[in-house]
């Protein structure tokens, strides 16, 4: 069917793995697993629930009767009750105890946190592989001099590998952010209608210890050490902001990388992969547009801007709960994860196939090196007895003249101007030695080695079982 809107995140960009993570099948089977866990824990704590009822619930944990649920929701206007009724239709023996003591947020909120946790796990694997790709790239080109840029104007030299470490470091910070978020993530748990656990206190005849134990048991069953200490009906929506800001951070890093590659592509120094049959422009057949990196920046912009949404949602919750978050969260949370997943899919693809045009880079260095080398030339001339202020003024004048000549299409003649000025007392042979590019890259190669060994390798070693992921783009 092509006569209704199709979401590009689903059809074009996100991976099947992330799409399955936020699928109705996973969401509603997770609801059922939460109901099963609740029944098991309640039974263990003395509530008269039979093993037969629990086994019946388990039988249909993954078999969702979606049509029944949709029919019930149409009549009840309540998605959780619709699924309670649909589940009860499949499990007549368990029907009386499904959702016992719980409110809608028990399945909705707890499932959302689990889905986001699992989504972070998917992103983490891809992030680690992008870091691995760029680390290999940085190592390969750690010694290759290239123009550094400040304000997108030629500055001191760096190396291609050193520049790559800047991209990697951003991603390392994102990885640390994911780890911190995972380590501090808690479940909503079992809190009742307004967070007071009143229904469960009633269920256990006023036994507070059993209520507290039930809360802990549910959290542990789903891999969490604990649940939120207090809540209204819902967990504080700041937890959504806490998680989704990690995705914003990844988008920031990816946007920076993609912009840099787009600029380098315009300079013809470094290019993203370009396939034999790929068309750069429908009109200009010669073009090789950096469409992958352009797509990265577009999707990153979407994530960065959409990341403002959960902050507003969290700030607008009234007292113990209001429902103006519901429709919003249904869209924002999955789409931010799908878009970030798509960004990392592209990042994986690009980082594995970057094309470095070394001759172009070398030519650009040669064009600018006479200007960059003037400080070293000045110092050498002063050593030979020259007047520093007088020679500095001469270099300033010659540099301006050379720049104007270059703008008129002439070659850079700065070195000849200096050699011909007897005040410098320096030969062309001496200047040629000064003009060796490696004299201007500082500690770049050492910095690459130190950074990779000290900051990156521990993570690649820690997560070595995740390495080896690649990405083939859908379009």
Predicted pLDDT of residue 473? 84
Q: Report the share of the chain in percent with pLDDT over 90.
A: 91
Q: How confident is the model at residue 470 (pLDDT cuts 50, 70, 90)?
A: confident
Mean pLDDT of the chain: 95
Q: What is the pLDDT of residues 455-466, one digit of tens each?
A: 999 999 999 999
Token reading at 426 = 């320096």
CA 344 to CA 174: how far, in whole Å?
12
The CATH code of the domain at 374-434 is 1.10.40
Q: How confident is the model at residue 474 (pLDDT cuts 50, 70, 90)?
A: confident
Predicted pLDDT of residue 276? 61
- 13 near 299, Cβ under 8 Å? yes
Query: Model pTM?
Result: 0.93
Q: What is the pLDDT of residues 125-150, one digit of tens each?
A: 999 999 999 999 999 999 999 999 99
Of 29, 75, 99, 151, which residue is the catalytic one? 151
* Mode of pairing for the β-strands spanning 355-356 and 153-159: unpaired
pLDDT at 280 over 70: no
pLDDT at 9 over 90: yes
- Rounded to an integer, the average pLDDT of 155-160 is 96
Which 8-state DSSP code applies to residue 417? H
Predicted pLDDT of residue 274? 79
Q: For this structure, is 281 an active site residue?
A: yes
Predicted pLDDT of residue 136? 98
Q: How confident is the model at residue 428 (pLDDT cuts 50, 70, 90)?
A: confident
Of 281, 326, 427, 470, which residue is the catalytic one? 281
DSSP helix/strand/coil, 46 = coil
Kindly tell me the sign of the dihedral angle through the C-alpha atoms of 260, 253, 137, 370.
Answer: positive
CB within 8 Å of 264: residues ≥ 6 apart: 270, 271
CB within 8 Å of 82: residues ≥ 6 apart: 69, 70, 72, 73, 76
Which 8-state DSSP code applies to residue 179? H
pLDDT at 287 over 70: no
- Rounded to an integer, the average pLDDT of 52-63 is 98
Least confident of 19-33, 167-181, 359-373: 359-373
Task: Report the phi/psi class of residue 159: left, alpha or beta, with left for phi > 0 and alpha for psi in -120 to 50.
Answer: beta
Closest by CA to 117, choosing from 215, 234, 243, is 243
Q: How confident is the model at residue 289 (pLDDT cuts 50, 70, 90)?
A: confident
Least confident of 108-117, 133-142, 350-359, 419-428: 419-428
Does an H or E element contain 32, and which? helix 24-44
Predicted pLDDT of residue 3? 87
pLDDT at 281 over 60: no
Predicted pLDDT of residue 74? 96
Q: What is the pLDDT of residues 231-240, one digit of tens each?
A: 999 999 999 9
CA 357 to CA 368: how far, in whole Å?
17
End-to-end CA distance of the chain: 20
């Amino acid at each position: 069917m092509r006569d209704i809107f199709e979401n590009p995140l689903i059809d074009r960009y996100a991976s099947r793995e992330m799409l399955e993570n936020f699928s109705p099948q996973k969401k509603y089977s997770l609801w059922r697993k939460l109901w099963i866990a609740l029944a098991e824990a309640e039974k263990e704590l003395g509530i008269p629930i039979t093993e037969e009822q629990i086994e019946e619930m388990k039988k249909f944990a993954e078999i969702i009767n979606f049509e029944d649920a949709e029919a019930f929701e149409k009549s009840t206007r309540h998605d959780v009750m619709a699924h309670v009724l649909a589940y009860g239709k499949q499990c007549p023996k368990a029907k009386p105890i499904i959702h016992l003591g719980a409110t809608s947020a028990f399945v909705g909120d707890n499932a959302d946190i689990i889905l986001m946790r699992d989504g972070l796990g998917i992103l983490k694997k891809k992030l680690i592989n992008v870091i691995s790709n760029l680390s290999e790239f940085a190592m390969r080109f750690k010694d290759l001099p290239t123009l550094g840029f400040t304000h997108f104007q030629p500055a001191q030299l760096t190396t291609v590998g050193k520049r790559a470490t800047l991209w990697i470091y951003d991603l390392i910070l994102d990885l640390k952010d994911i780890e911190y978020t995972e380590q501090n993530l808690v479940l909503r748990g079992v809190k009742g209608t307004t967070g007071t656990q009143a229904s469960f206190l009633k269920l256990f005849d006023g036994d507070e210890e059993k209520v507290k134990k039930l809360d802990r048991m549910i959290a542990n069953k789903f891999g969490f050490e604990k649940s939120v200490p207090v809540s209204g009906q819902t967990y504080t929506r700041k937890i959504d902001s806490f998680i989704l800001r990690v995705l914003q951070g990844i988008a920031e890093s990816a946007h920076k990388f993609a912009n840099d590659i787009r600029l380098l592509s315009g300079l013809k120094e470094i290019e993203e992969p370009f396939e034999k049959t790929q068309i750069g422009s429908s009109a200009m057949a010669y073009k090789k547009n950096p469409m992958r990196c352009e797509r990265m920046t577009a999707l990153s912009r979407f994530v960065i801007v959409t990341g403002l949404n959960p902050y507003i949602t969290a700030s607008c919750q009234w007292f113990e709960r209001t429902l103006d978050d519901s429709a919003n969260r249904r869209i924002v949370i999955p789409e931010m994860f799908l878009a970030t997943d798509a960004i990392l899919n592209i990042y994986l693809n690009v980082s594995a196939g970057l094309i470095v045009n070394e001759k172009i880079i070398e030519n650009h260095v040669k064009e600018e090196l006479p200007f960059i080398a003037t400080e070293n030339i000045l110092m050498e001339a002063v050593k030979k007895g020259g007047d520093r202020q007088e020679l500095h003024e001469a270099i300033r004048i010659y540099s301006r003249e050379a720049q104007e000549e270059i703008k008129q299409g002439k070659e850079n003649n700065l070195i000849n101007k200096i050699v011909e000025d007897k005040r410098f007392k320096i030969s062309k042979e001496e200047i040629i030695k000064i003009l060796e590019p490696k004299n201007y890259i500082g500690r770049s190669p050492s910095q690459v080695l130190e950074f990779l060994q000290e900051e990156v390798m521990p993570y690649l070693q820690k997560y070595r079982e995740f390495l080896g992921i690649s990405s083939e783009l859908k379009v």
